[in-house]
Amino acid sequence: MSESTGINFISRKFRISSQNSLVDWIGSFGTEDIGVDMGTSNTVLFVKHKGLVFPEASVIARNDLTKEYFAFGTKAEEMEGKTPSAVRIIRPLKQSVIVDYGGAAYLLNCIVNHSYLKGLLFHPRLIMCVPAGINGVQRRALLEAAVAIGARKTVLIDQPLAAMMGMGLGKHPKEGTMVVDLGGGSTKIAVLSKHGIIVSHFSTASGSEMDQAVLNTVREKYHILIGHKSAESLKIALGAMWDLKNGPQIAETSGMSIVSGLPVKIAVTGEDIAHAINPILYRIFKDIRDVLQRTPPALLQSIKENGIILIGGGAELRGIDELISRVIGVPAHVAERPSYVNAVGAGSALEYINEFRDSLQDLH
Ligand SMILES: Nc1ncnc2c1ncn2[C@@H]1O[C@H](COP(=O)(O)OP(=O)(O)OP(=O)(O)O)[C@@H](O)[C@H]1O
Ligand SMILES: [Mg+2]
């Protein structure tokens, strides 16, 4: 097997074992294989032979009186702020790690079984993305969610490796590549070579932190309370740079006046948004610089040539690529369909699932 085949590229991480082969051979009949990217904001699936499943918000609704979960995904998210006090809207992941185990299992079960395959699926085999460097407890939490949905086999794949495969670079990895995943709950930075992940960094600077900062700025500057969704919409509309020539400089939102208690509409400027989110962006830039400093010099030149690849929903922040290029001095490019790259990569890795060691063995 040549050095540059995708399987070889990722097999180092997975310690391919032949002991599973019979089980895998039997297991590959009558099961569905699914790539899973479970994120703080969204869960995205890639079902083998079917492709991407429309992402669902990583949100569930629970009735505290009956102790039952009763809604998930975008439907549950839309209930936020509109439910009686006995109903709780829960995000089972915070800062990209599972904080509500039962909730995460319920969410995964619903998305895998109900939303797409209408309950027809039994004992799927999963390849699940995990942030690089995640601790053992968190890996276990993901595996337990997989067990709870009856997964027959589960393989954990480091997100940067999934991203490389998702971008079609797994089979032909360049000498040095930097991938920055700007997610809803965290930012993941990794440098990869054809031998795997060389340096990685995880930080809690995130899209939802930016939304909170926008919400705070609007409250302080205009004395108006807005919701998280409105804050996110302002961030998406106005982006990272208020001096961009193209696109709107001002966006309207509605909220509640702190002074009068009445509903009001206001126009928020791109400068307001930049003021709110810049401290978070600058933390990310500092982390990128730190990772570059920790990168072996032999890989730096190719990173400069290939540029920094931006993935995750936050990569769609208007002007982020230009800002990173300017501040870091290395060109940054937004990947195609940046929010789905990890799930597509986990989906591509399904081709090799028979050869991967079952991570569920680590639970025993
Ligand atoms: N066009 C856009 N402009 C700016 N931000 C965006 C845009 N589209 C999505 N986002 C942001 O991307 C984030 C969600 O990204 P993503 O789906 O990659 O996160 P996640 O995978 O669920 O989270 P994580 O990987 O951090 O656990 C949200 O904060 C959302 O506001
Ligand atoms: Mg993510």
Q: What is the largest CA-CA distance in the chain?
A: 71
Q: How many whole angstroms from 41 Cα to the centroid of ligand 1?
A: 7
- Name the 3-class secondary structure at 127: strand
Q: How many whole angstroms from 302 Cα to the centroid of ligand 1?
A: 28
Which candidate, 236, 226, 201, 205, places its Cα nearest to that of 319? 236
Cα(123)–Cα(152) distance, integer angstroms: 5
pLDDT at residue 241 in the model: 73
Half-sphere exposure of 244 (CA within 13 A, CB side): 23
Give the residue extent of every domain in the chain. 6-167+341-363, 175-335
Topology agreement, domain 6-167+341-363 and domain 175-335: yes
pTM of the full structure: 0.90
CB of 35 closer than 8 Å to CB of 127: yes
User: Which protein residue's CA is at the shortest distance from atom 3 of ligand 1?
Assistant: 317
Residue to probe by mutation, ligand 1, list 36, 41, 234, most atoms within 8 Å of CB: 41
Fold of 175-335: Nucleotidyltransferase; domain 5 (3.30.420)
What are the DSSP E strand ranges found in the chain?
33-38, 42-47, 51-57, 60-63, 68-72, 87-90, 93-94, 97-98, 125-130, 153-158, 177-182, 187-193, 196-203, 224-225, 250-257, 263-269, 308-311, 332-334
Cα(134)–Cα(143) distance, integer angstroms: 13
* H helical segments located in 149-265: 159-166, 207-222, 228-238
pLDDT at residue 170 in the model: 72
User: Which protein residue's CA is at the shortest distance from atom 10 of ligand 1?
Assistant: 313
Cβ of 40 closer than 6 Å to ligand 1, yes or no, is yes
Cβ of 253 closer than 6 Å to ligand 1, yes or no, is no
CB of 340 closer than 8 Å to CB of 52: yes
pLDDT at residue 245 in the model: 67
Which candidate, 340, 350, 344, places its Cα nearest to that of 7? 350
User: Which protein residue's CA is at the shortest distance from atom 1 of ligand 1?
Assistant: 316
pLDDT at residue 362 in the model: 80
User: Which protein residue's CA is at the shortest distance from atom 21 of ligand 1?
Assistant: 39
Q: Tell which atom from ligand 1 comes closest to the C-alpha of 318.
A: 3
Please state the CATH superfamily assignment of the domain spanning residues 6-167+341-363 in this structure: ATPase, nucleotide binding domain (3.30.420.40)
Cβ of 236 closer than 6 Å to ligand 1, yes or no, is yes
DSSP state of 111: I
Q: Tell which atom from ligand 1 comes closest to the C-alpha of 232.
A: 31
pLDDT tens-place values along the chain, 364 residues long: 333 333 333 333 333 333 444 444 444 444 589 999 999 999 999 998 888 887 999 999 999 999 999 999 999 999 988 889 999 999 999 999 999 999 999 999 999 876 455 555 578 899 999 998 788 888 999 999 999 988 999 999 999 999 999 998 876 667 899 999 999 999 999 999 988 999 999 999 999 999 999 999 999 999 999 999 999 999 999 998 766 667 778 999 999 999 999 999 999 999 999 999 999 999 999 999 999 999 999 999 999 999 999 999 999 999 999 999 999 999 999 999 999 999 999 999 999 999 999 998 887 7
Burial of 256 (0-12, 13-18, 19+ CB in 10 A): middle
Cβ of 232 closer than 6 Å to ligand 1, yes or no, is yes
Cβ of 207 closer than 6 Å to ligand 1, yes or no, is yes
Phi-psi region of 337 (alpha: psi -120 to 50; beta: other; left: phi over 0): left
Cβ of 56 closer than 6 Å to ligand 1, yes or no, is no
CA distances from 346 to 33, 91, 233, 290, 301 (A): 10, 23, 29, 28, 28
Task: Please state the φ and ψ torsions of residue 22, each to the nearest 5 degrees.
Answer: -70, -45
Q: Tell which atom from ligand 1 comes closest to the C-alpha of 236.
A: 3
CB of 162 closer than 8 Å to CB of 37: yes
Cβ of 313 closer than 6 Å to ligand 1, yes or no, is yes
